[in-house]
Structure 1
Amino acid sequence: MDLNPAVMIPLVILVGVGIFYFNYMAVKKRREMFAGFAAQHGWSFVPSNNSLARQWSGTPFQTGDNRRAANVLSGAFNGHQMVAFDYSYQTHSTDSKGNRTTTTHKFGVVVLQLPGALPHLEVTHEGIFGGAVANAFGFRDIQFESDQFNRKFRVKADDERFGHAVVTPRMMELLLARGEIGWRIEGNSLVGWDKGAHNPAEVMNRLSLLQGVVEQVPPYVWTDYAGIDPRQQAPIQQAPIQQAPVPQQQPPGNPQQ
């Protein structure tokens, strides 16, 4: 049965308007939710700050296009400067008929500012085949004394000795208990991320996890690699901040033996 264009055209327009309105209301509701969440904790909130999409490297950044950071929270969390935001980017593909498809990839990102810059270290979950198969294909990661940890997590570091110094038995115990997100030490930032949009409860849980990671770093690591003793630093007051943590270069010089 042929459909009358006089009927179809208004119908298509109506559907398009409905989709636009639904998306608009969803974005508005999410923005209001995070604005209220920020106010409850004395944090600052901005609807978007796309400069954050260029501030860090590695997953999930520096891939795709139309990179955006939205619903940005910043402030102090238990003595650490923090920033949390919705991150998204787009990729494109074309099928055999020339039809182009755009996919939007979404992540929840949380970042704690470290008391000093440390070497690069990344902890992520192993793939579905585990580390043994990945290593067979040349994707090497650092191995630890816990087989359970090695099966569940992949650890990469520019300095393997630094990796072993940070990922102690107590750190492994923490991550095995609640290591639900990937995280990376990048300069003076501890960056955590996971696929999909996060909610306020997840933001708090993930910030708490990153705080636990920081607390498990042995004091000598800060002294040897960053030249500081965080135990002697004054705690950050619970007050909003305007700027996100900015990664710093690792100070020159070899760590002590």
Structure 2
Amino acid sequence: MAVLVMVGLVLLVVLPLIVSGVLYAVAVVVYKRRRRAFEARRAEALRQFGWSYVAPDPWLAELASIAFPGNGQPVSMATGWFNGRPVAVMDYEYSMQTADGRGNVSSSTQACHVVAVQLPVALPWLRLTEESRLGRIRPRDLQLESPAFNDAFRVETPDDRYASAILHPRMMELMLDNTWFDWQLAGPTLMSWNLNHWEAPETAARLSVLTRIADLLPPFVLRDYGHRLA
């Protein structure tokens, strides 16, 4: 009887360790498989677009740190051309800390990315984001002649006249066809962003809209508000 009790106690101690070890080994295998699949998709995307990895650009990393909360850093960056314009896409990760009611603090890491089109001049800051319920109860943002556009988007800029020049009827029509799309102008960078590491289909969709926005920037805006790059 004593032997059986001892065996039972040993099993109670050892079995959880064995199960835990097996689960850990399975998790490692699954992670490695997913990582290999991701790297294969990434390699195919770079080949498809004709892009190559470069060192992360500090300016784009700074813009990413504004777009996403928490402490972050760039992971990798690729550059090339899309629809006749120079572009960049950067994987970025940031960490956030949360505390529960007992004062326990936990940290988590979120993968995200930014997609950018390089412009020939540096322009003032402008940010266009999807309007939210919270946004509707805050002080009103810039109001344009399209009620549908005003209901769909929030416009933030230090210069309303400048924003009105950029958001002309054709630009607003483009955005109303893409109400899922947030973007920002800052210096020579026209940028959009999203969670998770970038994948080819979604990146191509974002760059298609970004390059169209760049095409619709009025020449007088580039001339009157732009500063030539050194």
Shared fold (TM-score greater than 0.5)? yes
SS at 1:207 equivalent: helix
CA distance in 2 between partners of 1:21 and 1:67 (Å) = 27
Higher-Rg member (1/2)? 2
Give the equivalent residue in structure 1 for 2:75.
69
CA distance in 1 between partners of 2:59 and 2:13 (Å) = 46
CA distance in 2 between partners of 1:66 and 1:132 (Å) = 30
SS at 1:85 equivalent: strand
How many residue pairs align between the two structures?
222
Give the equivalent residue in structure 1 for 2:136.
132
Is the Cα contact below 8 Å between 1:86 and 1:109 reproduced in 2? yes
**Structure 1 residues not aligned, in runs of 5+:** 229-247, 250-257
CA distance in 2 between partners of 1:143 and 1:184 (Å) = 18
Is the Cα contact below 8 Å between 2:123 and 2:227 reproduced in 1? no
Is the Cα contact below 8 Å between 1:109 and 1:194 reproduced in 2? yes
Aligned-residue RMSD, C-alpha: 2.6
Equivalent in 71, 74, 83 of residue 78 of structure 1: 83
Equivalent in 108, 118, 134 of residue 103 of structure 1: 108
Tell me the TM-score normalized by structure 2: 0.85
Change (3 A) 1:55 1:196: same
Give the equivalent residue in structure 2 for 1:115.
120
Is the Cα contact below 8 Å between 1:112 and 1:190 reproduced in 2? yes
Is the Cα contact below 8 Å between 1:90 and 1:103 reproduced in 2? yes
Change (3 A) 1:179 1:216: farther
Alignment of 1:13-28 (within 5 A): 13-28=21-36
Percent identical:
30
Is the Cα contact below 8 Å between 2:65 and 2:72 reproduced in 1? no
Change (3 A) 1:50 1:160: closer
Change (3 A) 1:65 1:53: farther
Is 1:4 the equivalent of 2:12? yes
Give the equivalent residue in structure 2 for 1:231.
none
Is 1:214 the equivalent of 2:214? yes
User: What is the CA distance between 1:202 and its match in structure 2?
Assistant: 1.0
Q: Which amino acid aligns with 1:55?
A: E
Change (3 A) 1:25 1:18: same
Tell me the TM-score normalized by structure 1: 0.76
User: What is the CA distance between 1:103 and its match in structure 2?
Assistant: 2.9
User: What is the CA distance between 1:5 and its match in structure 2?
Assistant: 1.4
Is 1:54 the equivalent of 2:61? yes
Alignment of 1:87-98 (within 5 A): 87-98=92-103
Q: CA offsets per residue over residues 88-145 of structure 1, 9 Å max, x none?
A: 2110112133443323333332100011000000000011x2643222xxxx421111
Q: Which amino acid aligns with 1:100?
A: V
CA distance in 2 between partners of 1:58 and 1:122 (Å) = 15
**Structure 2 residues not aligned, in runs of 5+:** 1-7
CA distance in 2 between partners of 1:59 and 1:66 (Å) = 10
Higher RCO (C-alpha under 8 Å, 6+ residues apart): 1
Is the Cα contact below 8 Å between 2:98 and 2:106 reproduced in 1? yes
Q: Which amino acid aligns with 1:118?
A: L
Alignment of 1:224-239 (within 5 A): 224-226=224-226
